[in-house]
């Protein structure tokens, strides 16, 4: 069953790359007491994700902060090393936190997986975005397969 607006996010542990190496990020703690603009991409370094999705959030990070967002986070079913390298290559440091969902546990708990086997990618997270306030989904935008508009930075800014 897919998560809906008004529901609390499931507990999960992400990994993020820090100056000290990989470190766990517990979702219950990460989302508690603040507003987070979270978006999910099918994969780091994939064409739409790298050319449009992540760059849109990096470019508009200050606009999100001005509208009350405490943090912008990107997640994908990739390992922490790939997510860390992708964030560096996109100049996301300080603008977007890269949360690796390496085993896909988070997107599976959300009910937002997709089958990327046709592209050699296996089970991945769908392209989606959400505004999370104190761990509860306030807005949820799930893209149709192959689309990119509802999960964009511009669309999310319009929701704030």
Q: Which residues are catalytic?
A: 49
b/e per residue 31-43 (b: at least 16 CB within 10 A): beeebbbbbbbbb
User: Which structure tokens are listed for 77?
Assistant: 């079913």
Q: How far apart are CA 78 and CA 103, in angstroms?
A: 8
Of 111, 86, 112, give the one whose Cα is nearest residue 99: 86
Q: Contact 85/50 with Cβ under 8 angstroms?
A: no
Q: How far apart are CA 7 and CA 84, in angstroms?
A: 29
Beta strands in the chain (DSSP E): 13-18, 21-26, 35-40, 71-76, 97-100, 113-115, 123-125, 128-133, 136-142
């Amino acid at each position: 069953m897919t998560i809906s607006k008004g529901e609390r996010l499931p507990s999960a542990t992400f990994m993020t790359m820090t100056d000290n190496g990989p470190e766990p990020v517990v979702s219950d703690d990460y989302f508690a007491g603040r507003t987070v603009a979270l978006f999910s991409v099918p994969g780091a370094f994939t064409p739409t994700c790298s050319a449009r999705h992540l760059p849109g959030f990096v470019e508009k990070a200050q606009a999100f902060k001005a509208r009350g967002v405490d943090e912008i986070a990107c997640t994908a079913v990739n390992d922490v090393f790939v997510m860390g390298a992708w964030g560096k290559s996109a100049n996301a440091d300080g603008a977007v936190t890269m949360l690796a969902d390496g085993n896909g546990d988070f997107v599976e708990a959300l009910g937002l997986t997709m089958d990327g086997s046709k592209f050699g990618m296996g089970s991945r997270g769908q392209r989606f975005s959400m505004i999370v306030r104190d761990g509860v989904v306030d807005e949820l935008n799930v893209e149709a397969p192959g689309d990119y508009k509802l999960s964009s930075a511009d669309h999310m800014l319009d929701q704030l």
